[in-house]
Chains A and B, each alone.
Chain A
Amino acid sequence: MSGTLVPEAPVRAAVPVERRPTDWRTASMQRRVRQRYAAERRFRLLGLAAVVASAAFLLFLLASMLARGAGGFVETRVALPLDLARAGLNVTPAQLRGPRADLALAGAGLEAAVDTAAEAAFARGGGAALLSDAAWLRVREAVKRDPSLLGRRVTIDVPVASRLDIAFKGGGTRADRAVARSLAPRLSRGLNRDFFRGADSTDPTRAGIWGALKGSLLTMVVTLLLAFPIGVLSALYLEEYAPRNRWTDLIEVSINNLAAVPSIIFGLLGLAVFLGTFHMPRSAALVGGLTLALMTTPVIVIAARNAIGAVPPSIRDAARALGASPVQVVFHHVLPLALPGILTGTIIGMARALGETAPLLMIGMRAFIAAPPERLTDPATVLPVQIFLWSDDVQAGFVEKTSAAIIVLLVFLLAMNGLAIYLRNRFETRW
């Protein structure tokens, strides 16, 4: 801007304005300052309130899950008197010591014997309906451990039906609570081991999370085996070798975009490609793992690129100066130094995949699966989907099971995130 083209603004004649310093002691000025400070305090409090509200919400969420879910780990048992000698069982203690004990017990008629005993013992309370479907299994276990029980009168603690279980824990209808009170001397609590050993069931007292947990583990193994190498390799390529051209830009844009695509879209992709085109088995951990791997890879790529980019160029220069080839520079020097950062990003990505539900619903992992999966192609379900299925169930007994499963899931996620934070603090290098 030269002065020759732009006409200069006419210079005002300097009018002598009398400027006195502001008198801060006047009442109006004092009021103004007070108002401004009050506004400052209000604003600050507003900020604090926002933080406190978020924290309070988190605490409320965790507390309500804990309060509701704690009961899911506890089962109510009732002392059931049994006279196994007179129950008409067609099994002898001798048979139980042999290798075919399971077969002998299966045909022994224990279930009917337990029902009869319950009818006799709780004639007024409701008979066999008071017991869980799993009650006779507990008797079977006891007999298998100690075959001499077959010749005696015994009292065995067996789990009660869901209705009575809820009532004993303080919920349910008034009638159920009355039954619970009348039976109270014979009721006891114990750790619900079936919850950690079993799979899904239609009876809340028998339902367990081991099946879903195993499905989650299998799925995560597939996801990790695919997403980690692919993610790290493509991050290395993009950060260290890729020429700057249109193709590289295309790869970068699609990775950044994939990281922001809603997870349900990956479910649609899995449904159309893995199930529709390749005819892979429905609800299998393999397909779930593949779908989640597609979703997790971009997250790992982005984290790995940040970690690789943080390694200073002097390391590369030094290695190259000593005669290392480009591949040796990266695999001998850059990658080991970037590995802690890459692992941190991977764990966070895997934690996200572990909590993911929607894409797995799309590929059919919402089926009722009563047995833990044995292979990658077996029908399976995963922990978050199991939570979703139980939350949908109308039986009141599943409320605490859902919350208990949520607690288990959160424990896993917190452990993974804690590990990531630990790795970050322990191995992170500031160059």
Chain B
Amino acid sequence: MRTRSTPKQNHLLAALPAADFARLAPQLELVPLALGAVIYESDGEQAHVYFPTSGIVSLLYVMNDGAAAEIAVVGNEGMVGISLFMGGGTTPSRAVVQSVGRAYRLDAAQIKVEFARGGALQRLLLRYTQALITQMTQTAVCNRHHQLEQQLCRWLLLSLDRLPSSELVMTQQLIANMLGVRREGVTEAAGRLQADGLISYRRGRINVLDRAKLEERVCECYGVVRRESDRLFASHAAIAA
């Protein structure tokens, strides 16, 4: 957090061609992402889109009775607020900061103008949208078919891929909320991973000790999302070229 932030710590912004980046850069505003902060609510108008450079934002689906389940995580690989340029109406979802960090934000009107230009930024954001769809799809499947421990592994790996460090600041209650399960289940699953030396968990901080083993324990859902994301960034290189 003490290190200097630059917009290019966000992979989408970093993938823009120089001319597009130069045009966008003066409009970007660095803001903190505070733990638990609500970036948007389903019924509210979004004033900005956010490109995180650190931290994790959770996209949650909110049920009528207030229960919520995470449908995707966004970090330095992506952005929050695609409804602004996709032209969608409001949906029963909420974006919440689940790991502190920072983001560059861009005014709603400006992202709409930039998107409508139809250049590299538009191509990038549309492909990111596809990667996000894949993540949401896989979350739906994983919720249905896989054991809590596998889901926890998936969630840890997806979060780590989107963070600059291998440490997550996170309570078990928060993880339980994200996965839409009881806290006891998370405690049990996290305890097993800790006993096996894959993670260490202390005072709300999770450190990944053995990433390779974590990848062995995870369900295939992680790989599907990862490949889609890798493909996106492979194509970023093509866009920027």
Q: Does B associate with A?
A: no
Taking Cβ atoms with an 8 Å cutoff, the residues of A that contact B are none
Taking Cβ atoms with an 8 Å cutoff, the residues of B that contact A are none
